């Protein structure tokens, strides 16, 4: 759900459209003169008026694009023509929207059958295109789920992330991997379901440690038959569906029956399961008994910034919570931000039957209709005023407020630290973008360079970059690796600037300061690289570790200045150490990931026409690349999914010069 132009009087012959308004981006904008300068947006208005000639009255989504083809704004409308016509009344728009119209070069529309469909499409496009003038949810992470497999006689329970293409039941989403791991551990303790992969299950000859600590029933070695294991699976499904009360009664009855039959060991075993179940289903504000499947969403606003806290309640249990900080204008109200958040949040995940909110949404009925259309069932949006549901919403609201206060406090501290950096390195102003470079390799192999970015809001992780070093580079030549990395980073930035000569100066992605891990040699090398590229306006600082790599005794190297150290407890020193350590961490993890990827490659990867699916089929059939290499042509042709032509290609790769006829 997005803000739209104010419902001011429209051109003659049109009806007012019942949509909410966009407030000015800054409170001071409320008093600006509504008569725009004559050169503010004549081109944008002309583009809109030209588009109106053929624009339909049907529901749909419109996009305003700038000269680069990038989206400025995405909006939905019950009537496209009526809604877009209001943008042509430039004198009635706030300053923020006048700027948007002035930059508009292209208008694009997509018609839909209903306004609810338009709302869903709008949310999808906003999340994908991230227009500058929209309220945008920055949420690129996927959410973990709990998976209970249906394609095995003894189903596996495990956490899952990604496409849900396996024949299985999926429960979630969970707010974090920690939350889903906690649930998997609880399920193992109460229901004794296996968590091992099918390949491990098939090759076990004796029970693993999980059986010894009573976390698995060991179906892999026949300690439980399929029928009894199936009962455990059915109980687990009932638990995940919220039917814990009846499940606990059944276990209690079974325990009493075992005790009456003098099966004390089994009775004690059932008692332990009941205790585990009681521990898991403890209630309270964090685990509300009156909610089965619901999301609790609360927004809190301070100083023009908003935190939205989401609690996932599934089967009466709290699956964790997560804080979000949508990007929006300073004057956007909390209800507006919350409406946009809800529409975008459920773009890539199924909405639950109930969503509890702390603010009523503009066009709340339309949002509910759109979510119901997505879920193919009724979705209720409610703002509770009393009882347990109200307590849960207040709990989420408190979490949102505290998270935002911490963020603002950290941001204020960050501003002071950046001011200290500017003073320390004699910069004209506090840096808004600091780039830190590092690389990692083992004697030149699996070499990777990385760039991390930090600014007023801390680490900007979506701006991090990895550079697989292409070479050729001599083993251990860190200077050459740094040269390649910087050339690739700045050559691209300079090329983008050259393609847009109308924009003066550097763009938002240009660094105010470069930090390099090293001493005077690295500083000299980096300055030489930048000079070769024609970059002369970026300050460079090298940080060399102290004696015995002692943190706190680092030396700082700048051009035309003697190397110096800071007092061991200086806050700016801690800040710069944190930047360097983050770059080092990112370089190490990037190198390890690349090295692991290289290690799992086999000789099969060198054969033309052998992709992931055929490689998997061959390895599953023969057990290893060596098994494939030692097999005959007839054996290769017998592999499911491997054609005769592919088999001949594989055989020829391992047996060059051997005639195919009769090969075995």
User: The domain that contains 454 carries what CATH number?
Assistant: 3.30.420.340
Residue 397 belongs to domain spanning:
294-405
**Looking at the predicted structure, is the pLDDT value of residue 26 above 50?**
no
Point out the least confidently predicted range of 54-68, 169-183, 489-503.
489-503
Same domain, 584 and 608: no
The rounded percent of the chain whose pLDDT value lies above 90 is 27
Looking up tokens 């390099």 gives 516
Q: Residue 344: is its pLDDT beyond 60?
A: yes
Residue 472 lies in a domain: yes
At 664, the pLDDT band (50, 70, 90 cuts) reads very low
CATH number (domain holding residue 629): 1.10.150.20
Residues 110 and 88 in one domain: yes
Q: Is residue 395 part of a domain?
A: yes
- Six-digit token string for 236: 């687990």
Phi, psi of 310 (to 5 degrees): -120, 125
471 and 577 fall within a common domain: yes
Name the domain boundary from 588, 612, 642: 588
Which is more confident, 595 or 489?
A: 489
Residue 360 lies in a domain: yes
pLDDT of 609 higher than 50: yes
Task: State the average pLDDT over residues 575-587.
Answer: 89
The answer on pLDDT for 364 being more than 80 is yes
- Of the candidates 364, 368, 386, 389, the residue with the CA atom closest to the CA atom of residue 377: 368
- Domain boundary at 280, 313, 343, which? 280
**Has residue 10 been placed in a domain?**
no
Q: Are residues 245 and 331 in the same domain?
A: no
- In this structure, are 570 and 611 located in the same domain? no
In DSSP notation, 244-259 reads: HHHHHHHHHHHHHHHH
The last residue of one of the domains, among 258, 280, 302, is 280
Residue 573 has pLDDT above 70, yes or no: yes
Same-domain status, 269 and 306: no
Poorest-pLDDT segment among 122-126, 252-256, 425-429: 252-256
Residue 14 pairs in a beta bridge with none
- Output the pLDDT for position 80: 93
pLDDT at 39 over 70: no
Q: Cis link prior to 173 (omega < 30° from 0)?
A: yes
**Integer Cα distance of 569 and 552 in angstroms:** 8
Write down the pLDDT at residue 618.
80
- Asked whether the predicted pLDDT for residue 540 surpasses 90, the reply is yes
Total structural domains within the chain? 5
515 within a domain of the structure (yes/no): yes
Helices assigned H by DSSP within 41-176: 42-52, 80-85, 95-103, 115-129
Give the residue-averaged pLDDT of 63-77.
Answer: 92
Q: In sequence order, what are the residues at sequence separation of 6 or more whose Cβ sits closer than 8 angstroms to the Cβ of residue 173?
A: 143, 144, 145, 312, 319, 349
Tell whether 425 is covered by a domain. no
Question: Which of 80-84, 499-503, 623-627 bottoms out in mean pLDDT, i.e. has the lowest?
Answer: 499-503
d(CA 525, CA 314): 56
Question: What's the pLDDT band for 288 if we cut at 50, 70, 90?
Answer: low
> Is 413 domain-assigned?
no
Query: Is the per-residue pLDDT at 495 higher than 50?
Result: yes
Same domain? 566 vs 628: no
Does one domain contain both 531 and 611? no
Residues 618, 640 within the same domain: yes
- Please give the DSSP secondary-structure letter assigned to residue 625: H
3-class state of residue 588 by DSSP:
helix
User: Is residue 99 domain-shared with residue 182, that is, in the same domain?
Assistant: no
- Quick one: 609 and 640 in the same domain? yes
- What does the alpha-carbon distance between residue 174 and residue 318 come to, in Å, rounded to a whole number? 9
User: Model pTM?
Assistant: 0.63
The CATH number of residue 93's host domain is 3.40.1440.10
Q: Are residues 579 and 440 in the same domain?
A: yes
Q: Are strands 354-357 and 294-302 parallel, antiparallel or unpaired?
A: parallel
* Model pLDDT, residue 283: 41
- Predicted local distance difference test score (pLDDT) of residue 29: 36
In a domain, 51, yes or no: yes
Query: What is each CA distance from 628 to 199, 631, 636, 655, in whole angstroms?
Result: 19, 5, 8, 12
């Amino acid at each position: 759900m997005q803000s739209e132009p104010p419902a001011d009087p429209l051109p003659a012959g049109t009806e007012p459209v019942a949509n909410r308004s966009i407030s000015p981006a800054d409170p001071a904008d409320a008093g600006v003169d509504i008569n725009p300068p004559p050169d503010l947006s004549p081109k944008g208005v002309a583009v809109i008026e030209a588009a109106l000639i053929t624009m339909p009255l049907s529901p749909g989504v419109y996009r305003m694009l700038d000269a680069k083809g990038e989206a400025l704004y995405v909006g939905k409308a019950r009537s496209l023509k009526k809604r877009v016509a209001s943008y042509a009344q430039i004198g009635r728009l706030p300053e923020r929207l006048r700027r948007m119209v002035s930059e508009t070069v292209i208008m694009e529309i997509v018609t839909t059958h209903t306004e609810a469909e338009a709302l869903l499409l709008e949310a999808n496009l906003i999340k994908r295109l991230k227009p500058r003038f929209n309220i945008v949810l920055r949420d690129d992470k996927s959410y973990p789920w709990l998976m209970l497999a249906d394609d095995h006689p003894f189903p596996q329970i495990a956490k899952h992330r990604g496409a849900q293409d396996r024949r299985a039941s999926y429960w979630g989403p969970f707010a974090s991997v920690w939350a889903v791991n906690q649930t998997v551990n609880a399920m193992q303790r109460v229901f004794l379901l296996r968590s091992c992969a099918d390949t491990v299950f098939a090759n076990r000859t004796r029970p693993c440690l999980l059986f010894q600590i009573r976390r698995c029933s060991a179906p892999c070695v026949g300690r439980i038959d399929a029928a009894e294991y199936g009962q455990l699976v059915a109980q687990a499904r009932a638990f995940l569906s919220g039917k814990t009360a009846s499940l606990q009664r059944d276990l209690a009855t079974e325990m009493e029956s075992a005790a009456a039959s003098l099966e004390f060991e089994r009775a004690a075993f059932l008692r332990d399961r009941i205790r585990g179940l009681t521990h898991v289903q403890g209630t309270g504000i964090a685990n509300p008994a009156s909610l089965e499947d619901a999301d609790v969403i609360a927004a809190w606003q301070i100083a023009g910034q908003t935190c939205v806290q989401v609690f996932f309640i599934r089967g009466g249990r709290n699956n964790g919570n997560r804080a979000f900080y949508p990007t929006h204008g300073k004057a956007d109200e909390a209800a507006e931000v919350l409406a946009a958040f809800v529409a975008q949040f459920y773009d890539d995940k199924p909405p639950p039957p109930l969503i509890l909110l702390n603010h009523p949404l503009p066009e709340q009925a339309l949002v509910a209709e759109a979510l119901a259309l997505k879920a193919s069932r009724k979705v209720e949006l409610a703002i509770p005023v009393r009882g347990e549901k109200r307590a849960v919403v207040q709990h989420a609201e408190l979490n949102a407020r505290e998270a935002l206060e911490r963020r603002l406090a950290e941001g204020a501290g960050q501003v002071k630290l950046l001011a200290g950096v500017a003073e320390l390195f004699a910069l004209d102003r506090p840096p808004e973008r600091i780039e830190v470079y590092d690389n990692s390799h083992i004697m030149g192999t699996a070499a990777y360079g990385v760039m991390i970015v930090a600014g007023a809001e801390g680490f900007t992780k979506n701006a991090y970059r990895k550079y697989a070093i292409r070479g050729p580079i001599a083993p251990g030549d860190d200077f050459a690796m740094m040269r390649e990395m910087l050339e690739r980073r700045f050559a691209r930035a300079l090329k983008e600037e050259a393609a847009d000569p109308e924009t003066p100066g550097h763009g938002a992605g240009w660094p105010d300061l470069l930090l390099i891990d090293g001493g005077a040699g690295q500083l000299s090398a980096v300055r030489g690289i930048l000079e070769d590229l024609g970059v002369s306006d970026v300050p460079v600082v090298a940080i060399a570790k102290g004696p015995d790599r002692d943190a706190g005794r680092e030396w700082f190297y700048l051009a035309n200045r003697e190397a110096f150290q800071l007092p061991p407890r200086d806050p700016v020193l801690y800040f710069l150490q944190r930047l360097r350590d983050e770059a080092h961490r990112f370089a190490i993890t990037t190198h390890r990931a690349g090295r692991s990827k290289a290690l799992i490659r086999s000789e099969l990867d060198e054969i033309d026409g052998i992709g992931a699916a055929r490689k998997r089929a061959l390895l599953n059939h023969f057990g290893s690349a060596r098994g494939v290499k030692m097999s005959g042509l007839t054996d290769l042709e017998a592999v499911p999914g491997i054609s005769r032509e592919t088999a001949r290609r594989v055989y020829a790769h391992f047996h060059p010069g051997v005639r195919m006829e009769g090969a075995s």
